[in-house]
Amino acid sequence: MTAAWPAERPQTRRPLSLPKRGAQGFAIGHLHPMVLVYLVCVVLSVGFYAGPLLMTTLRLLLLAMVLPLMVQLIMGKFGRLRASDFLFFGHVIWMTAALWVNNPAQVVQQSGSVGVEFIGGYLMGRAYVRSRADFLGLCQALVLLVLASVPFALLETVTGDPLLISLIRKLPGIRTVEILSIEKRMGLERVQSTFAHPIHYGLFCSVAFSLCFIALQDVYSTKRRFLTCAIVAFAGFLALSSGALLAIVLQVALIGWSLIFARIPWRWWLLVGLFALAYLAIDLLSNRSPLRVFMSYATFSAHNAYWRGIIFEWGIMNVFGSAVEQIPANVLFGIGLNDWVRPWYMYSGSMDNFWLVLTVRYGVPGAALLIGGWAAMILAMMRRDLSGDAQLTRFRRAWVFTFLGLSFTLCTVHVWTNIYSFIFFMFGAGLWMLEAPLNTGSAAKSGSDKAESGENSPRGGHVYSRFPPRPTPSNPGTHV
């Protein structure tokens, strides 16, 4: 069923905003100044001390913006309230309660910093990406930021020196992320770029992949789009993070599935059924659990897979308890910032699983609120009927592919600080599509767009090809 703007508030309806066309017929996006400021704060982590507190430019920006944006959201300025709005705010409240129970001395600092990064990033996306032109401009900006980082990444993968971090650290009175000393992989240094960890740089690049390949079809010619995506994927590879590579591989697989089975309207149900069948087959035929099998293919080595399997098992015991290991249950409020119980030989307390960290720290309700908001909006986005609107269909597909990839990737990595805020900024930046007016008459639909809209090509008509003709001013090219 097609979503509609609520009749009781017709004044909140935004006019249909289509991206302008450049001289060559390609669309040109619009980037809100506040989005530009936010992205600069994300990629350039600059900090300073405000008394005893370490403040970053990102936290300062979000502290200034979060309350005004929250009021505007409640007033309906950014469309009607959604399930994610209630569930995400509920997560922040529960997180604060869990910290109050477990770490009362740190509740103000921790809930203030982490809560602002999380909900502030989400609200920035909700507030300043509200149209097709806004979303297109955001996609263009992300791709340009990744491309701009490549020369520095190539230098770092050879020398091991993150040049931009080193330059920021030389400024008097300025703080930034620590330069990490990490073991090489494949004989190469892992690229940290300007982020707190190489994993974060890889995830940043992975977010730009589907947005470039699918959403920017009206911006880049086909050859330029393929070349740009290859560079984006290469930049993500330089992080040498299995989590980042998994996100890109999953997006490539989803794109390939949408192309190969473009004429089958129920292809996504087929994919879900195959996943369920594969899970049952592994569970019945393998001497390992499906989780351990997944970990073995989602990591660089068998050692890492085995280690992450142990982390997951002991993390679950820290939540639900274990009589054998004498671990008490912490289902309701988790353990907060306290150290978790683990085997004696596990010297590091890090957990490479974002969803597991949420559950261990804030209990099952705290994790369920965030995961519920995440899943509810992805499902709502997938269920909206976009029949006839090829451009919005592509935007939706790019956003959904990105977050489906992240959903699995966050089972293998943990995120914090800037990239944590950025992920939920991108999440909020897609929700305008749930209410966007449809444009059913201006853009021709290609094979996969027609299949998703439920249309069939006439017999004897043009046969769809995944290799579109070279774009011209009169023919901008076919679409994924």
User: Six-digit token pair at 351?
Assistant: 């957990």
Cβ atoms of residues 450 and 457 within 8 Å: yes
Reference 352, options 199, 180, 193; nearest CA is 199
CA separation for the pair 281, 284 (Å, rounded): 5
- pLDDT tens, position by position, 21-60: 544 445 556 889 999 999 999 999 888 877 666 788 999 9
Q: What are phi and psi of 227, to 5 degrees?
A: -65, -45
CB burial string 357-366: b at 16+ within 10 A, e below: bbbbbbbbbb
Torsion of CA 104, 109, 113, 115, to 10 degrees: 30
Residue owning tokens 């913006």 = 65
The domain ranges of the chain are 21-453
- pLDDT tens, position by position, 463-479: 333 334 444 444 444 34
Torsion of CA 110, 115, 117, 118, to 10 degrees: 140
- pLDDT the model gives residue 472: 45
User: Six-digit token pair at 277?
Assistant: 């069948």
Top pLDDT among 85 and 351 is at: 85
Question: Most confidently modeled of 12-21, 183-192, 429-438?
Answer: 429-438
pLDDT at 298 over 70: no
Reference 13, options 76, 64, 99, 104; nearest CA is 76
pTM: 0.84
Helices (H), 410-446: 417-428
- pLDDT the model gives residue 329: 93
User: Six-digit token pair at 63?
Assistant: 């502290």
Residue 253 CA: distances (Å) to CA of 71, 147, 191, 228, 265? 40, 23, 25, 18, 18
Q: What are phi and psi of 292, to 5 degrees?
A: -65, -35
Angle, helix 198-213 to helix 390-409, in steps of 10 degrees: 160
- pLDDT the model gives residue 26: 52
- pLDDT the model gives residue 204: 95
CA separation for the pair 329, 100 (Å, rounded): 18
Secondary-structure percent of the chain, ordered helix, strand, coil, rounded to 5? 60, 5, 35
